[in-house]
Amino acid sequence: MALTGMDIYKLLPKKNCKECGFPTCLAFAMKLAQGGVEAEKCPYMSEDAKTRLSEATAPPMRTVKFGAGDRCYSLGGETVLFRHEKTFVNRTRFAVAFSDTMSDEEIQSKIEHMNTVDYIRISEEMYVEIAAVECKSGNKDTFLSLIKRVKDGCKKAVPMIITSDPEIAKAAVEECKELGPILFGANEQNYEAMVNLAKQYNLLLGVTAPDQEKLYELVQKIQNLGYRELLLSTESTSLKQVFDDVVNIRRTALVSQDRTFGYPTVVFANKLAKEKMMQLAIATLFVEKYGSVIVLDDIDYSLALPLFALRQNIYTDPQRPMKVEQGLYKIGSADENAPLLVTVDFALTYFIVSGEVERSKVPAWVLIPDAGGYSVLTAWAAGKLSGKTIAKAVKDFTVEEKLKTREIIIPGKVAVLKADIEDELPGWKVVVGPEEAALLPKFLRDYTDKKVS
């Protein structure tokens, strides 16, 4: 049973030292009970109390990790069934499937596709994090050759070794152990050997069984061996059953508070459908419904753009606005004489404005000041978008050194800022743009035509 704030308070040293960032031990205890802070923040708590509190306040779904260095990722750690209740914590990771029975051309094509899909969206780098490498041939040398090729070809991907043969698994782990691979393939027949191997190399272990009941029993056996870094999957082959399995695993952990199923899950979308767009549809379903790792046959931009955008939206804290990075953005082939517009750092506003500027075919610059991640009117009303913040952005991003223009186009809805900005930026002229972004293309074309004439 979860501890209350008063239960936790009784375990604290009651020094009220404030070193944890809270004014009193009671305030710290209340926040700890809500899961908003970690027990380790208290510098004077005994190790015994920390251990008890860490276990009692840990989320019902365990947070597990794989990878190494800059490519270390977390899965699980979720506390709610629905995003609107609070937030989802550790985002879904995507994998592309390889097997040692594929042709050289097919393997090379997948490697090139994985390397091609790599871009930044709202300050987040989007790429495939996992290469799911399966041993189908039963030949250790052939499998090791594939792992080496994928490891060398996909520098950003962490291997997921898929085999149920402990001997082949050990050799495969040796081949890529420095990357912190996932070891997938523990089942009723081999789980003891696979657990020993996972323990030896401190790996995330993928566990699979024919159905939910057998998976539950297998996880209990593995937990009795003292290993809890697990990733779960059933061997179901129908979409309906896989959906039922994944949802029930999550509900068992979070609603029934049964930690036997308190682990993230992997979904092999590539085995549920062969057609690319159907795989995309299945993957979108499990991004929303609890797939922590989703394996696809291949990746290209027609799959990546909707999947990564959906993931970013689902795994963004709804209590915090999505922001783009502040800066000076070049749109099209803008030169030093191109028009300069200013808008806010709220992601939705930025993408609408930049999209309309692109649609106008007029190369331009867009200046993004620190507006708190709010929309234009909200930022202005909150004092986040003002003459001072815009002038600060002009200076911070050295606009006067990069551009010859001394005119700045502001959103029509904050026309009242015109005099304020001109006071803060001597020598600059403020042009009031349209109130709606949809009117920007015509405005920019008229603006540049007027300049030329």
Yes or no: domain 61-315 corresponds to CATH 3.20.20.20: yes
Determine if residue 412 is labeled as part of a ligand binding site: no
- Predicted confidence at residue 44, as pLDDT, reads 87
- Predicted confidence at residue 84, as pLDDT, reads 83
| CATH topology assigned to domain 327-452 | Rossmann fold (3.40.50)
Residue ranges covered by each domain of the chain: 5-57, 61-315, 327-452
- Predicted confidence at residue 131, as pLDDT, reads 97
Determine if residue 302 is labeled as part of a ligand binding site: no
Determine if residue 154 is labeled as part of a ligand binding site: no
Q: How far is CA 26 from CA 45, 50, 56, 72, 392, in A?
A: 14, 16, 17, 35, 41
- Predicted confidence at residue 2, as pLDDT, reads 59
Determine if residue 58 is labeled as part of a ligand binding site: no
- Predicted confidence at residue 265, as pLDDT, reads 97
Q: Residue 34: CB partners within 8 Å, gap ≥ 6?
A: none
- Predicted confidence at residue 36, as pLDDT, reads 67
Determine if residue 176 is labeled as part of a ligand binding site: no
pLDDT tens digits, 223-254: 999 999 999 999 999 999 999 999 999 999 99
Yes or no: domain 5-57 corresponds to CATH 1.10.15.40: yes
> Which residue blocks in 117-201 are alpha helix, DSSP H?
140-153, 166-176, 191-201
Q: How confident is the chain (453 residues) per 10-residue block, as mean pLDDT? A: 76 86 86 74 82 73 93 93 87 97 96 95 90 96 96 95 97 96 97 97 97 97 96 96 97 92 96 96 96 97 96 84 88 93 92 93 95 92 94 95 94 95 94 95 93 75
- Predicted confidence at residue 35, as pLDDT, reads 64
Determine if residue 72 is labeled as part of a ligand binding site: no
Long-range contacts for 31-38 (Cβ within 8 Å, ≥24 apart)? 32/5, 32/8, 32/57, 33/2, 33/3, 33/4, 33/5, 33/7, 33/8, 33/57, 35/59, 35/79
